[in-house]
Amino acid sequence: MLIVGIDTATVQVSVAVGGHEGVLAATQSSRGRQHAEVLTPAIEFACKQARIELSEISVVAVDLGPGLFTGLRVGVAAAKAMAYALDVPMIGVPSLDLLAFPVRFTSRLIVATIDARRGELFYAFYRQVPGGIQRITDHQVGSPDDLASELMASGEECLLVGDGAIRYSEVFDGLKKCEIAEEGFAYPNATSLVMLAHAQALREQWVKPWDLEPMYLRKPDAEINWSTRPGV
């Protein structure tokens, strides 16, 4: 089984290829919002590094979001097109799961955060479980102060991970029991995507391309700007 993972939920675009033998190749690039320009070369590069042909892929995995609206549209559309062309199933994994997975070895409460712009965060809480992580809250969107209040009320030691916590570090630095993970864990990545998708593929927990939908949580900024303009 060979899985290609596509992640375009944030400013970083990443692609990985792997399967039973683990992750065979991975690449990532940060070029602002140029997701469409970067993605196809990244897929070609990852396949070349893994020494496989695209036709050998048996599952297409994609980051479902939440994240940048345009980035998600590009990644999900490309992943669907590839799955249709290869006639293979798909697996979608939320971006916050991908953020939490690399820090799964901590015993603390894991709080995955993504900068949602407009002074808000996408976030969810996780706990370590044998073999991985378990999400214990719904995906949420709220202000940094909202999240800080939740963490203070919980009274638990926690590890915040993601660019959301880094951007609003001044809000969380004052919380005694909370630590912000280093910048190397700022973005979800396709390596974690392939690893989590592989576990789901073994259980045949996949979907057809037409059944897969991105997770936005909030209207796109352009629609918000239009609806809040003077006179509307």
Same domain, 115 and 178: yes
Alpha-carbon span 52 to 44, nearest angstrom: 10
**Residues paired with residue 123 on neighbouring β-strands, in sequence order:** 113, 140
Alpha-carbon distance 116 to 128, whole Å?
A: 25
Q: What percent of the chain has pLDDT over 70?
A: 93
What residues are paired with 131 via a beta bridge?
Answer: none
Q: How many domains does the chain have?
A: 2
Give the type of residue at 55. S
Q: Are residues 75 and 113 in the same domain?
A: no
Looking at the structure, tell me whether residues 19 and 120 fall in a common domain: no
The helix or strand, by DSSP H or E, that contains position 9, with its residue range, turns out to be none
- CATH number, domain with residue 87: 3.30.420.40
Q: Is the same domain home to 85 and 122?
A: no
Radius of gyration of the chain, Cα coordinates, nearest whole angstrom = 18
Q: Are residues 100 and 214 in the same domain?
A: no
Q: Is the pLDDT of residue 110 over 70?
A: yes
Together in a domain, 25 and 87? yes
Cis preceding linkage at 66, omega within 30: yes
Q: Which of 31-45, 124-138, 218-232 has the lowest mean pLDDT?
A: 218-232
* Mean pLDDT along residues 59-80: 94
| Residue at 75 is within a domain | yes
Please tell me the distance from the alpha carbon of residue 2 to that of residue 30, in angstroms, as a whole number.
Answer: 25
pLDDT at 220: 63
pLDDT tens readout for residues 25-66: 999 987 666 788 889 999 999 999 999 999 999 999 999 999
